[in-house]
Chain A
Amino acid sequence: MKEMLKGHFVFGWKIIAYLFLAGVGGGAYAVGAAFHLIDPEAELVTRLGVVLGAPLVFFGCLLLLFDLGRPQVVFRAFSRPNQAWISRGTFILTIFIVIGAIQFGFWIWPFRGLTDYPVFFTFLNIVGGIFGILTVLYTGFLFDTTRSIPFWSTPILPLLFLVSGVSTGIFSIILMLLFLGYADSPALGILRKLDAFILILEGMVIFLYLHGMHEVTAARASVSRVVKGDLSVSFWAGVVLVGLVIPFMIEVFLGNDMVPLTVASLCGLVGGIYVRYVVVSGAVKAPLNSEGVFIYLTPRAE
């Protein structure tokens, strides 16, 4: 078993933090935009989506920038959207941040005239919502196309990032509502019920994700690290208990009370960080296959 554990590597905390922030930002914005389309009266949620969305994603992008070896040539990341997912992601993030900045600048601060043009406002919400979802999804597709790491190479991963992004996005909006003193807002009840439903979905996606990983040795090694190996505490305590069970229980049984709902939201956000941490750190590279002799790549020798 020890042999199997070799060949794993860890992305730095900046990448994990970026994945989390992009999930929260994109998810919160998409939820806000969807609220605008369903119920234009619930302006508050849309507003919070705008306040949280692009700024969080922008902050995450700064982390990505600091992670680069040569940030001075970062403009080159736009070069190859025809095949590289990082390039596509650069376009997606840029468009999302620009739309978010327009809405922020002309609706919240410093100007406030955007709702006078309802068609344009709805258009921005639709396009921004799509790009918010794409912001959450594209890293999933990036990992999905990494064939050398079987733990990532699955189309369930974009789905997991999407579900986790939307649920953490809702948690962040709930937290903001409570924080700003809108504890009696009718939107709070809707968000709470929606989120409980999405948490069930997330649990199912995580189960299917791990369950489907039994075909390749390196994938089994990843799963055993997650379920009973060095990542098991992060998974069972961080993802399952703190991220899913506690917030779900509170949302279903304790209702709209301020203190429990704050605890649930904070727990849900922490769970979102752990989802990214476990997925990223659980990666094990497929071994070299020399005609049936398998050699695991060891981490780089220092």
Chain B
Amino acid sequence: MARFGMVIDLKKCIGCDTCTVACRAEHATSTGVLFNRVFKFEVGKYPHSKLGFLPITCMHCGKPECEKQCPTGATSRREDGIVIIDPEKCMGCQYCVVTCPYGTRYFLDKIKNYVKGFETPFEKKGRKKHKKGAVEKCDFCIKRVEKGMEPACVTSCIAEARHFGDLDDPHSEVSKLIALRRGYTLNPELGTEPAVYYLPDY
């Protein structure tokens, strides 16, 4: 069985936020809800400092903290490793938002339009799958993946910093990159076994 995963090359990432925008375009998320974010920060002390970028999405952990704490069974991990939320089952207790170490979950307390008081046709079309009062997050663009396409953030990345594929297959692009460039995961000390790997920027 496949285990879908992502590799983000921090050496190539220029922090342009195209992935953030592409993600919002794909999922028509409410204002303030970002399934994908890019952290920008300073590394080192001036004059020996540089800008660092860290794109964050749901890590689709092998042992998800959110799934462990979900009382309703709304959060579940599919056989292919993608962690999904069923908004019909979610009661909006938001404890997964608290417990996620990566801060990638959002509670949709109210649906906000980009233009105040006006819903564009695009927003109207894309909002059908969003449920007010439920928690939502990145689902690795499950609809696209099932059609054989890559997630929107991977396709749109202008620097080809993102790669998507099967972590269980040692010959896949992502597995090779992880082995070759010593890919690492965030917060390994928590034992969550993320499926999103980062390649160091050196």
Which A residues have a C-beta under 8 Å from some C-beta of B? 9, 11, 67-71, 73-74, 76-77, 79-80, 83-87, 90, 142, 145-149, 285-286, 288-291, 293, 295, 297, 300-302
Contact = CB atoms under 8 A, between A and B. Distances in A.
A77 B93 contact: yes
A80 B54 contact: no
B91 A77 contact: yes
A87 B99 CA distance: 15
B103 A76 contact: no
Which DSSP category, helix, strand, loop or mixed, fits chain A's interface? loop
A77 B72 contact: yes
Contacts of A147: 65, 99, 101, 190
A79 B76 CA distance: 13
B134 interface: yes
A74 B41 CA distance: 41
Interface of B: 10, 32, 34, 39, 41, 43, 52, 54, 56, 65, 68-74, 88-95, 98-103, 106-109, 131-135, 184, 186-190, 198, 200
B65 A148 contact: yes
A113 to B, nearest CB: 37
A149 B41 contact: no
A83 B68 contact: yes
Given A69-B108, A73-B72, A289-B187, 8 more contacts: A70-B92, A79-B71, A84-B69, A147-B65, A288-B102, A289-B186, A290-B54, A300-B32
A142 B95 CA distance: 10
B33 to A, nearest CB: 9
A286 B95 CA distance: 16
B183 to A, nearest CB: 10
B92 A68 contact: yes
Nearest to A299: B103
B32 A69 contact: no
B105 to A, nearest CB: 10
Contact of B93 (A68, A285, A295): A68
B69 A69 contact: no
A289 B188 CA distance: 8
B32 A148 contact: no
Given A80-B71, A288-B186, A293-B43, A69 B109 contact: yes
B41 A73 contact: no
Contacts of A302: 32
A148 B100 contact: yes
Nearest to B131: A70
Contact of A76 (B74, B98, B101): B74
A79 B92 contact: no
A301 B187 contact: no
Contacts of B184: 290-291
A71 B91 CA distance: 6
Contacts of B34: 301
A76 B200 contact: no
Contacts of A77: 71-72, 91, 93
B133 A70 contact: yes
